[in-house]
Amino acid sequence: MKFEATRSLLEGIPYIKPERAKALYDFVLEAKPSTCLELGFAHGASSCYIAAALDELGRGRLTTVDIQDSAGRKPPIESLLARTALDAYVSVVREVNSYNWFLKKEIERCSGDGRCHPAYDFCFIDGAKNWTVDGFAFFLVDKLLTPGGWILFDDRDWTYARAEELTGKTVTDGIVHRELSDDQRTTPNIDLVFRYLVMQHPAYGEFRLQDDSWAWARKVRHGT
């Protein structure tokens, strides 16, 4: 499906900006990942853009994962996939409280001969925005990401303190803000994950920061 057609069908749906949606769509067209993984989908707009690019390529699959609370969003992802007629490209998974449990099950599924066999060419992490959750998610995703595959983080500049100030929300993806230390509330957690875990990992390179929010990295070889 062409980008503009997809954008028209998703007009007004949060949370991905049009310019980032286009960048994500173009990346899939160029990189041609066969197996995509998305951690955190909210309403599913970004899922639809990935699926639209796969549809344009005529092949590929997206598995997108979020917590059970996402079923209560209006509209839910299933509604958007039906609206865009892209549901054939997407498997929607909901876990009780963390996509890391899904990753655990995927590692079990993909393990044999004493190791995990990579299963995904691209992973988009756009979920908890939390050092503990997403730092561990990176460790787990690394086991599942093929050499040459890409990982993209959203919300590199996001903080609990700023989100609370702007929206009044005191809980994010099950994480209660007041239970965090002051420095964790005021520090961009994803930026820490990217700088200290991803960029220091010997298997990753081709790092790219896109505006204040997105951070890209490529798995250039098998992990050590």
Give me the residue spans of the domains in the chain: 3-158+190-219
The rounded distance, in Å, linking the Cα atoms of 95 and 70 is: 10
ω into 75 cis (within 30 of 0)? yes
| CA quadruple 1, 66, 184, 178: dihedral sign | positive
- Which structure tokens are listed for 77? 């992802």
Q: Where are the beta strands (DSSP E) in the chain?
A: 35-39, 61-67, 90-95, 111-112, 115-116, 120-125, 145-153, 171-172, 175-176, 204-210, 214-219
pLDDT tens-digit profile of 156-181? 999 999 999 999 999 998 899 999 99
Q: In the CATH hierarchy, which fold is given to the domain comprising 3-158+190-219?
A: Rossmann fold (3.40.50)
Within 8 A by CB and 6+ apart from 204, the residues are 151, 198, 217, 218, 219, 220
Residue 197 pLDDT exceeds 80: yes
CA 105 to chain centre: 17
pTM exceeds 0.85, yes or no: yes
| Phi and psi torsions of 162, nearest 5° | -65, -40
The arithmetic mean of pLDDT across residues 177-198, rounded, is 98
The rounded distance, in Å, linking the Cα atoms of 63 and 5 is: 22
pLDDT tens-digit profile of 112-170? 999 999 999 999 999 999 999 999 999 999 999 999 999 999 999 999 999 999 999 99
Nearest Cα residue to 77 out of 51, 53, 99, 102: 51
The amino acid at 50: I
pLDDT tens-digit profile of 15-61? 999 999 999 999 999 999 999 999 999 999 999 999 999 999 999 99
Give 197's DSSP letter.
I
pLDDT tens-digit profile of 91-105? 999 999 999 999 999
